[in-house]
Amino acid sequence: MMKQKNRFKATKQAKKESPARRVFTRRAVLLMAAQTGILSVLASKLYKLQIVDGDKFTEMAKNNLISKRLLAPPRGRILDRYGEVLANNRINWRALLIPEETNDAGAIIERFSTLLPLSDRDQSRIQRELDHKRRFIPILLKDFLSWDDMAMIEINSPNLPGVIVDVGTTRIYPQGSLLSHLVGYVAPPNEKDVAKNPALALPGMRVGRSGIEQTQDDSLRGTAGSVEMEVDSVGRVVSQLNRKEGVQGDDIQLTIDVGLQQSVLARLGSESASSVVMDCLNGEIMAMVSNPSFDPTLFDSGVSHAQWSAWMQDSRTPLINKAAAGVYPPGSTFKPAVALAALDAGTISDKDRINCPGYLDIGGTRFHCWSRYGHGSVNLHEALKYSCDVYFYEVARRTGMEAIEKVANVLGMGVELPVELTHVKRGLIPTPEWRQKRGRRWNIGDTIVSGIGQGFVHVTPLQLATYTARMATGKNIQPHLLRSRNGNLLPEADIAHWSDIGIRSDHLQMVRSGMFAVVNEPRGSGAKAKLDYNGMQLAGKTGTAQVMHVSRALRESGHFNSANLPWKYRPHALFICFAPYNAPRYAVSVVVEHGNAASSVAAPIARDIMLDTLRRDPANRKTPLGQTVADAELDWQ
């Protein structure tokens, strides 16, 4: 009985404990399942990391030891027609900062500046680049490092994470200021440049800002390269793993003869002046000089405020390329164009005579001739020879400005010329329509003074040379500066390929004959330009362009002398010419700012420039055997 009671109690107790045990068992199973799941996920992650993505993370680990960056390509060279270097590159050591390789770029820059001081200007530039450039793009800290500077950086490299010493190039101009207006210069890119082409953000990249450097910038710039370097935990370079050099920009060869350029500059001397020498047969510009000039290398490293102020205050404007961007009243050099317009319009013939008493009265206004006593009765040939103002006053009045503008444009004045330069001016040949658009009325006096290249008429020395070449040949000569690219000659146009300018050949010959008389006949206005070199002669035209109004009373007093005026009020002296007269090959234009008298200042300079040009022509230069250089080359071939 007692046993049954005990069994009953045990059974009853077991029934009470069974639900609790079952709950405990379920919890254990769930916990075990959760643990198994977590272990499965971890195992899966480990499998993915080690087996599936193992190669990927191995490569990433390697990349943590490799510094990659782009390399600025060397800029192409600029050469003269004979291969003389006009613009080149020079090796330059520099310190760069790669922002993404440091956590505190500001602290690193401050630490660097205690070792190698940075100017306020440099610090402003660096901060600006930090704010705008991507962190993987290197930033230039200091340029033109010495060996001591580089040693200082290397010794302190553990404290300068992200700072590296790099080799780059800087632009140099072996000819200095001789060709600065023509070749131009380069400067660091600005934000607009980088926005257009992100590759320009690379240290050492330069952008052409003037001249050939600017117009041929895309060809000269080249293609960026890259370099991979192994670095240690503090960023010190251990070894260079891979380097792919950039592709150097194209070499550009110009039509310029640097020897002739030097000769022209020497002929201009200390004058504020410009000159252009052009090949009449193909439009090649042999020399283009603007004086004074400037040192183009200053723009690569940065122009100081003092230097810039000095340039701005110089009344002779050294930064302006006077040959292509300087505009001047052409004075009497414009008279051949007026004559051609009148002949084309039929308002005069070469035999018509006009009387010059020394002035022309129209509408109550007296227009003076440069000769106080006049030239008497003159025809076209004599009017050009003596440069008679009254003759061309009357011719312009008869012909009208519309007809004069048309012929002037055909001859290359008042139009854009396709030369490979920046800031080339088109000049101005005014018309009544042009004047009306500006709210002013054109009057007969405007036409009369335009007839002698005064008033609103303005041209450039480049246009004067083109105008002279077109009159000399009757062909639509186009001036140009590019000769070859990477040694491949660009298509050169011989005179046979140029189209006619559309002016009758007999009319052109009448004008050319008058220009010959200017220099070679007695009492010609340009007698000081007379030249006889190996039987070759030149034809030309003087031009004295007023820059201030002279009253009638002062002119008629007999006491006026422009040479006594302050420099900036004296007339400009101009001269245009071509040679040889019987077979035109070269055209020359000379403009001497405030030179006063063309016949005594500009004419002799132009003669000497033409003489130097003819002497340098291979067809005229003699060998020791008495042959010309050209003949000797034919014999050798």
Three-state SS at 331: helix
Do 325 and 424 form a contact (C-beta atoms < 8 A)? Answer: yes
Q: How far is Cα 63 from Cα 242, in angstroms, rounded to an integer?
A: 13
Q: Which residue intervals of 411-528 are DSSP H helices? A: 432-437, 444-450, 461-473, 505-520
Q: State the pLDDT at residue 54.
A: 62
- pLDDT confidence bin for 361, thresholds 50/70/90: very high
DSSP state of 203: T
Report the chain's mean pLDDT, rounded to a whole number: 86
**pLDDT digits 0-9 by tens, 383-405:** 999 999 999 999 999 999 999 99
Residues 552-568: what's their mean pLDDT? 69
- In angstroms, the Cα distances linking 88 to 172, 176, 264, 404 are 5, 12, 23, 46
What proportion of the chain, given as a percentage, has pLDDT over 70? 83
Mean pLDDT along residues 275-287: 96
Lowest mean pLDDT among 196-205, 302-311, 522-531: 196-205
In DSSP terms, 240 is beta-bridged to 229
User: Within a 13 Å sphere around the CA of 551, how many CA atoms are in the beta-carbon half?
Assistant: 4
Q: Name the amino acid, one letter, at 466.
A: T
Q: What is the residue-wise DSSP string for 79-135?
A: E-TTS-EEEEEEEEEEEEE-GGG-S-HHHHHHHHHHHS---HHHHHHHHHHHHHS-T
Average pLDDT estimate for 580-604: 95
**Of 160, 188, 98, nearest in space to 134 by CA:** 98
For 536-589, give the DSSP string.
B--EEEEEEE-SS---HHHHHHT---GGGS-GGGSPEEEEEEEESSSS--EEEE
Q: Above 50 in pLDDT, residue 635?
A: no
pLDDT at 18 over 80: no
User: Which one, of 551, 548, 599, lies nearest residue 573 by Cα?
Assistant: 599
State the pLDDT at residue 1.
55
In the chain the domains, ranked by start, together with CATH numbers, are 73-221+244-254 (3.90.1310.10), 258-292+322-481+498-616 (3.40.710.10)
Which residues carry out catalysis? 332
Across 214-223, 457-466, 545-554, least confident range: 545-554
pLDDT band at 206 (very low <50, low <70, confident <90, very high): confident
Question: What average pLDDT does the segment 439-448 reach?
Answer: 94
From the list 170, 208, 184, the residue with the least C-alpha distance to 89 is 170
Can you read off the two tokens belonging to residue 57? 């993370």
pLDDT of residue 628: 47
In this structure, the number of other CB atoms found within 10 A of the CB of residue 18 comes to 10
Q: What is the mean predicted confidence (pLDDT) over 584-606?
A: 95
C-alpha span between 6 and 11 (Å, rounded): 9
Q: Is the pLDDT of residue 537 over 70?
A: yes
Count of CB atoms within 10 A of residue 208's CB?
Answer: 23
| 252 contacts 79 by C-beta, under 8 angstroms | yes
Residue type at 593?
Answer: E
- As a whole number, mean pLDDT of residues 217-234 equals 75
Residue positions counted in the chain: 637
CA dihedral sign of residues 119, 123, 128, 134: positive
Structure-block tokens of residue 331: 């004075």
Angle at 238 between CA 232 and CA 244, to 5 degrees: 115
In degrees, to the nearest 5, what angle opens at C-alpha 146 toward C-alphas 141 and 147? 115
What is the bridge-based pairing of β-strands 354-356 and 376-378? Answer: antiparallel
pLDDT band at residue 637 under the 50/70/90 scheme: very low
- Give the residue-averaged pLDDT of 524-543: 96
Contacts of 373 (CB under 8 A, 6+ apart): 358
| pLDDT tens figures, 341-351 | 999 999 999 99
> Taking the complete model, does pTM exceed 0.75, yes or no?
yes
Residue 470 pLDDT grade (very low, low, confident, very high; cuts 50, 70, 90):
very high
